[in-house]
Amino acid sequence: MNVGIRLAAAALCAGLPSAGHAADRWAHAETLTVVMVDNRFEPDHLTFHAGKAYALLLENRGKEMHEFTAPAFLKAATVRDRARLANAGTDIVVQPGDRARILLIAPAKGQYELTCADHDWDGMVGTITVD
C-alpha cells in the first residue's frame, strides 16, 4: 500500500476530510464578512454550520489595528493556512484599512467567545455559534 493511500485511510478512520475532499470544500466556501471598526465587530454574533467551509473575510475599517481573537474556535476549526494566524493560532490580526481572508471548515457544534484582544475592555466582543 503506498503512502498516499495509507494517509487517506488514516484520515477516513479519524473522521478527517481527505485532501481532495477539503479542496472541494474550499472551492465552494461560503463567504462570511465581519467588519471591524473602532471598537466593535459588525456583526457581533456569527453563526457557522459544523463541517461547512467558509471564507472568513475580515475588513478593518477602523483607525486602529484589530484582532479577531477566538482561541477555542480557531483551534477547533480546520484552517487551510494556519501560518496566517497569530499568537499561536488564537487570532487574526488586521491592520487599519486592510483585509484578511481565512479559509476554514467550521468545527463541532458549540458556542465560542470572540474578542479583540486589544479592545475587549471597550466592548469589542462577540460570540460565535456553530450549529
Contact 77, 107 (CB under 8 A): yes
What is the CB neighbour count within 10 angstroms for residue 10? 11
Contact 125, 67 (CB under 8 A): no
pLDDT tens-digit profile of 30-82? 999 999 999 999 999 999 999 999 999 999 999 999 999 999 999 999 999 99
Cell 493556512 found at = 81
Cell 474556535 found at = 73
pLDDT tens-digit profile of 71-110? 999 999 999 999 999 999 999 999 999 999 999 999 999 9
| Contact partners, residue 13, CB within 8 Å, separation at least 6 | none
Domain boundaries, the chain: 29-130
On whether the 29-130 domain is CATH 3.40.50.150, my answer is: no
List strand residue ranges (DSSP E) for 38-130, in order: 40-42, 45-48, 53-60, 66-69, 78-79, 91-94, 99-105, 110-115, 125-130
The predicted pLDDT at position 26 comes to: 86
